[in-house]
Amino acid sequence: MHFVTSVLAVLAGATLAAADCTATSAVPTCAVPCITSAASAIGCGQTDYACQCSSSDALVSTALNCVIGNCGIITALQVESAAKAVCTACA
């Protein structure tokens, strides 16, 4: 479970809706509503990658159960590399 939390911490930058950051397209669509909702709940804009990447603890605590519920544990784990790419490319 700790690994899943680490994976979702990286999701902080995965807002998924920005046309200017193609890295978001690699994040599974099942996680999109969870991440978008969590970003909003912690006060980050939908495309504010810097905010999301720097607020990963709050985003994780808000999105974790939703992502696992929507995507399943295997897909949630596969999000790791995509989320890292989003924070690297977009934040």
20 is known to lie in a ligand binding site? no
pLDDT bucket at 66, cuts 50 / 70 / 90: very high
* pTM recorded for the entire structure: 0.74
What is the torsional sign of CA 8, 13, 18, 23?
Answer: negative
Closest Cα partner for 4 from 90, 84, 87, 76?
Answer: 76
Q: Which of 22-31, 40-49, 81-90 has the lowest mean pLDDT?
A: 81-90
Q: Residue 52 corresponds to which amino acid?
A: Q
